[in-house]
Amino acid sequence: MGNKLFQKAREFVEEALHSEHDGDQHKTEDVARNALSSAFANTTEAEKEQLRELQDELENHSK
């Protein structure tokens, strides 16, 4: 079984990346950022690298 925080962070980022540009998008992005933050504390180095990539994607998407 994988790391649930890591899996949820990945799901939330994917949802934020595919959301429409409206008022709810900011809320979705905030949830994704919080999930990433929580996941960083409880992951392996390999997972942290993937989380950094997801974080970069989210930041680039929200610009």
User: What pLDDT is recorded for position 36?
Assistant: 96
**pLDDT tens digits, 11-62:** 999 999 988 766 677 889 999 999 999 999 888 999 999 999 999 999 998 7
Cα dist. 46→9, 15, 54 in Å?
15, 22, 13
User: What pLDDT is recorded for position 21?
Assistant: 67
Give the distance, in angstroms, between the CA of residue 23 and the centroid of all CA atoms in the same chain.
Answer: 18
User: What pLDDT is recorded for position 1?
Assistant: 41
Question: What does the DSSP 8-state code read for residue 17?
Answer: H
pLDDT category, 2, cuts 50, 70, 90? low
pTM (2 d.p.): 0.85
Q: Does 1 or 20 have the greater pLDDT score?
A: 20
